[in-house]
Amino acid sequence: MIRRIIEIDREKCNGCGACVRACHEGAIALVDGKAQLMRDDYCDGMGDCLPNCPTDAIRFVEREALAYDEAAVKANMAKKKTSVSVSTLKAGSADRHGSRVSNWPVQLKLTPVKSKYFDGAHLLIAADCTAYAYGSFHEDFIDGRTLLIGCPKLDAVDYAEKLGEILYANDVRSVTLVRMQVPCCGGLELAAKRAIAASGKDIPLSVVTVASDGRLL
């Protein structure tokens, strides 16, 4: 039958996995570091994956494809859930300190400008190094916040412009910036301040500085 279904451009795909997480049917997986539609009959043609792709690598096409099989999707998802549960049991107490990250991707240069995880969010912008320098980063900073990370010294992007677009397009309630006590992190702080000003919104900003020995200054 001819029906609407997604098509993934492997050249544009950066392998972030955002579409895999957005697909409620489990139709997409990462193969050799690239997103791939695994089965036509798992794709319902609704396109929840499209707005989550930061590189616009996914589009709709009309082509010959198997009909969407809801029963097969439910069976597959139940199988995956059972597999995850077994893995969690095997992990035991080793999983007590698992990730508190609730959004993906977390790299500022990869995240989409408009996303549901930004609406009503308390945004956490962190320099790459902070999670390594400060041992309780997950417990003290990520809980209850939407995370974005970056390094102005390594990424050749205008953080201020991207952040400004995010703040303008979404209902962000507050911004917490965690940086290292090094000069290059000053660029991240400046970008956040410029972005808030450019958004035209009165968004509170809190800046936390981490010393190289892990102390909060």
Token digits of residue 89? 């049991």
Q: 78: which DSSP letter?
A: H
- Provide the terminal-to-terminal Cα distance of the chain, rounded to the nearest Å: 63
Chain centre to alpha carbon of residue 94: 24
Contact by Cβ (8 Å): 142, 120: no
Token digits of residue 165? 């677009």
pTM, two decimal places: 0.57
Other C-beta atoms lying within 10 Å of the C-beta of residue 120: 11
Question: Consecutive sets of 10 residues in the chain, 217 residues long: mean pLDDT of each?
Answer: 94 88 87 89 91 91 93 83 55 55 89 92 94 89 91 83 95 94 91 95 94 87
Q: Closest Cα to residue 196, out of 169, 164, 165, 166?
A: 164
| Cis before 105? omega within 30 | yes
Q: What pLDDT score was predicted for residue 140? A: 87
